[in-house]
A and B are shown apart, each in its own frame.
Chain A
Amino acid sequence: MRAIVQLWLLPCRQMPLLGVLAHLLWLAALACLAWIRPHADGAALGAGLVAMGSWFWHMGLGAALRGACQPENFLLPGFRRRLAGLGLADAAVWVGVPAALALALGVPHAMLGASLLLLAAAMGFAMGVERWISLLFWPLLVLAGWMPGLVGAIVHDALGSPLTLPLLLLTAVLLLRLALHPMLQITDRPPDASPLEGLSLGRSTAADTATRRSALGRRFEGWFDAIAQRALALALMRYREEPSAARRRALVRRLLLPHDNAAALVLRIAIMAVFAALYVVVAMHRQHFNATVVGAYAVLMALARFPQIGRGMQRMRPNLADLYLTLAPTTRTQYQQMLASALLVLVPIGTLTALAYTALGIVLTRADQPGLMLLVTLIVATGGGLVALGVHLVGPQGTVGRQLVNAAVLAGTMATYWGGAWLVDALGYLFGGGLLALITLGFGLGVWFASQREYLQREPCFDAPLA
């Protein structure tokens, strides 16, 4: 039992906020079911709450258990049996208790509700374990968007059909099978990527855990890897031809940021274009797109790259000892300067990415003011990138602190984007744009230079982080 409790505690320890919120939703749902009269209304509200809580909780549980299912852990006595025990206990809490209460209170369609809860839990769990499973729901969204009448009729008929219950249960079992099969399989661990890189398109996550990639993901990874190897070879050749400081810096960049080169950037934007086009098709039923939202989202995606720098530089400390000896700097400051200069390339890359995403958004949404959007994106993404790079380079070492800093940077950038769009719209490209550039770039450069100064004063650290 203690082992099951420890497994249950895993997502709570990794995502305490999620654990608290999900279980509060569960409690609230039971309270709605018990106290709201008539019980059918309470059950409808409660089912929505518990389904939402269950979906989030099981996404976290799936992600946590995926991390725990390492080959070494399968050697623990009865590990699989205890996982099954956790599954049963979890189903009893999230499905059994609400269903039993609903049955006791005589709520109509209680069994159907229970099977829907099971489906929500299975869906969340499967998405937590294998991210690609969320793609399976896109066709449903497309259908709901294009033919809402048909979907309504299907739901109406399903409520009265005796086949609905077994079909829902079958779907839940299928989802669990899709998630559990790879999770319980012992496979080769892929070699670690650079801690400064994440290969997801937004590149906000990933490198902290060993990722399992789908066949498509592995193919993308192969392309990026081939591009990175070629870029490094090219940089080496150029450096050998003429070993200048700039080429030396480029070489260090190819080592630290293997996927931040021109070809990889083009490939990333091309892949993003495919997915964005697909998304537009999926969301076609929405009649109006707010182009400014699309632009803001593009900036947000470009900035999602920077938190990886703080995390990655910390994780990379032991690796950097080798680079330190290889570079043989005259002073420690010189070494820190080399790293800071190498990382500065992320700002123009972020700006270019944001511009490309914005241009894509402009095309897909047929935006009215493409010039305005591109100008605001150019200024805000550059200023935001400078701030993000600066604060993540010298910012807090702890996860919570880093997340808070990141949230503040993103919120500030978004506010600047909206404010900037309004300013340029109101004052025109020259005055509005000039004022926005003055404020945003002035602030961005100020933060970057201050952060850089602080970083240069620090002693290089090569000790592995404690956690």
Chain B
Amino acid sequence: MGTLVPFPVQPAAQAATPAPVLRVGGLRKTYERREVLCGVDWEVPAGRVIGLLGRNGAGKTTLLRCLLGLVPIDAGAIELFGATMAEPGGERLHRVGFVPQNFELFPWMKVSSYLDFTAAFYARWNHALAGRLLQEWELDPKQKIGRLSQGQRQKLAIMRAIAPEPDLLVLDEPVASLDPQARRAFMAELLALMGGPGKTVIFSTHITADLERADADIALLRDGRIQFTRPLAELKARLCHAVLNRPAGWSTPPALAGAIKSRIAGTSLHLLLEDVPPERLHQLAKDEDASLRIEMPTLEDLFVELA
């Protein structure tokens, strides 16, 4: 049995927060009468790495594609770099790098032809970076894209996205097909490249360790809405997982201010708590005649509990 109360809304961003690179208001998207996004409101400040989390089918891919104008929206407004996305807006798209979930590039082209073709349209293209990555990631420029493995295509898509040194990088599960070495190399490259001032990354992934490594802000998409966007460090500092155990078991979880989610499993009561002092928990354990264990949740634990 489990109950989930609404996640507390955080106070408005502080005055020092930089202007958002992306602003979404009331975004709705329906596929054949199934509402995937039900009024998404979201602001992404410049210069941050945002990890977009959500369960399968939560609408992460749809949201990311809507942001770039790759999917028509039913309602709402999207602002990218301060201007509405009603139209693509020309060179603005060149400030965005996008790695899609499925790498539908051009299988009949050779790797080098594809990169040359793409580079020809960009005013800013880091040829040195592209050349270095080709070598380091062991991609044969003479190979046809259709002959590349899924992981190699993913590397090529990543290379294509970061070579123009975009101000906003949108990555839709970019490391799903990469081996651990390639994933680490990619993350290192990403953090080095996007560490510059004003560079923003929106990163949808299920590999939470990568988000922890990037010290990302976490945005949770659930029930067609962004439930919260908060720095990972803050989440970890303020949330904790308490397990209360007693032989008689639990019929209902006790009322406790700050409890976000409660779950009864056998004789144990699992509580996800925010800003609850340990003294209060010890008092509760004493009152309920239960033993108490307090754990620091990992991001994966938080995802399992909250998503």
Are B68 and A319 closer than 8 Å at their CB atoms?
no
When distances are taken between beta carbons in the complex, the residues of chain A under 8 Å from B118 are 322, 326
Are B113 and A229 closer than 8 Å at their CB atoms?
yes
Q: Mark B152-169, 1 if CB is under 8 A from A, else 0.
A: 000000001000000000
Q: A193 vs B94: C-alpha distance in the bound complex, in angstroms?
A: 27
The DSSP consensus for interface residues of chain A is helix
Assess A331 versus B87: contact at CB under 8 Å? Given A319-B105, A321-B100, A326-B121. yes
The DSSP consensus for interface residues of chain B is mixed
Stretch at the interface among A67-75, A177-185, A233-241: A233-241
Residue B7 at the chain A interface, CB threshold 8 Å:
no
Select the residue from A325, A326, A328 with max chain B CB neighbours within 10 A: A325
When distances are taken between beta carbons in the complex, the residues of chain A under 8 Å from B100 are 318, 321
Are A321 and B88 closer than 8 Å at their CB atoms?
no
Q: List 12 A-B contacts (CB under 8 A).
A: A191-B147, A229-B113, A233-B113, A243-B120, A248-B121, A258-B108, A318-B100, A325-B96, A326-B122, A328-B90, A328-B121, A463-B71
Residue B82 at the chain A interface, CB threshold 8 Å:
no
Q: Mark B85-105, 1 if CB is under 8 A from A, else 0.
A: 001111111101010101011
Assess A327 versus B104: contact at CB under 8 Å? Given A236-B116, A462-B65, A462-B71. no
When distances are taken between beta carbons in the complex, the residues of chain A under 8 Å from B106 are 194, 255, 319, 322
Are B72 and A229 closer than 8 Å at their CB atoms?
no
Q: Mark B50-72, 1 if CB is under 8 A from A, else 0.
A: 00000000000000010011111
| Interface residue ranges, A against B (CB under 8 Å) | 190-194, 197, 228-229, 232-233, 236, 239-240, 243, 248, 251, 255, 258, 318-319, 321-322, 324-332, 335, 459, 462-464
Q: A190 vs B145: C-alpha distance in the bound complex, in angstroms?
A: 11
When distances are taken between beta carbons in the complex, the residues of chain A under 8 Å from B70 are 321, 324, 462
Are A192 and B146 closer than 8 Å at their CB atoms?
yes
Q: Which residue of A lies closest to B143 (CB)?
A: A191
Question: How many A-B residue pairs lie within 8 Å, measured between CB atoms?
Answer: 90
Q: Which residue of B lies closest to A461 (CB)?
A: B72
Select the residue from A255, A258, A328 with max chain B CB neighbours within 10 A: A328
Q: Which residue of B lies closest to A462 (CB)?
A: B70
Are A328 and B88 closer than 8 Å at their CB atoms?
yes
Residue B107 at the chain A interface, CB threshold 8 Å:
yes
When distances are taken between beta carbons in the complex, the residues of chain B under 8 Å from A462 are 65, 70-71
Task: List 11 extra interface pairs beyond A194-B106, A321-B100, A329-B90, CB under 8 A.
Answer: A243-B120, A248-B121, A319-B105, A319-B106, A325-B93, A326-B117, A326-B118, A328-B92, A331-B87, A332-B87, A459-B72
Are B120 and A191 closer than 8 Å at their CB atoms?
no
Q: A191 vs B102: C-alpha distance in the bound complex, in angstroms?
A: 17
| Interface residue ranges, B against A (CB under 8 Å) | 65, 68-72, 87-94, 96, 98, 100, 102, 104-110, 113, 116-118, 120-122, 144-147, 160
Contact of A327 among B89, B121, B145 (CB under 8 A): B121
Contact of A324 among B88, B92, B107 (CB under 8 A): B88
Q: A240 vs B119: C-alpha distance in the bound complex, in angstroms?
A: 10
Give min CB distance, A76 to chain B, whole Å.
Answer: 23
Q: A197 vs B109: C-alpha distance in the bound complex, in angstroms?
A: 13
When distances are taken between beta carbons in the complex, the residues of chain B under 8 Å from A321 are 70, 98, 100, 104
Q: A48 vs B65: C-alpha distance in the bound complex, in angstroms?
A: 58
Shortest Cβ-Cβ A-B pairs, 6 listed: A191-B146, A318-B104, A328-B93, A330-B90, A192-B107, A331-B87
Q: Which residue of A lies closest to B88 (CB)?
A: A329
Q: Which residue of B lies closest to A321 (CB)?
A: B70
Contact of B117 among A190, A232, A328, A459 (CB under 8 A): A232
Q: Which residue of B lies closest to A243 (CB)?
A: B120
When distances are taken between beta carbons in the complex, the residues of chain A under 8 Å from B72 are 459
Contact of B88 among A251, A258, A335 (CB under 8 A): A335
Q: A255 vs B147: C-alpha distance in the bound complex, in angstroms?
A: 18
Q: A335 vs B146: C-alpha distance in the bound complex, in angstroms?
A: 26
Q: A321 vs B117: C-alpha distance in the bound complex, in angstroms?
A: 15
Assess A322 versus B105: contact at CB under 8 Å? Given A192-B146, A328-B94. yes
When distances are taken between beta carbons in the complex, the residues of chain A under 8 Å from B92 are 328
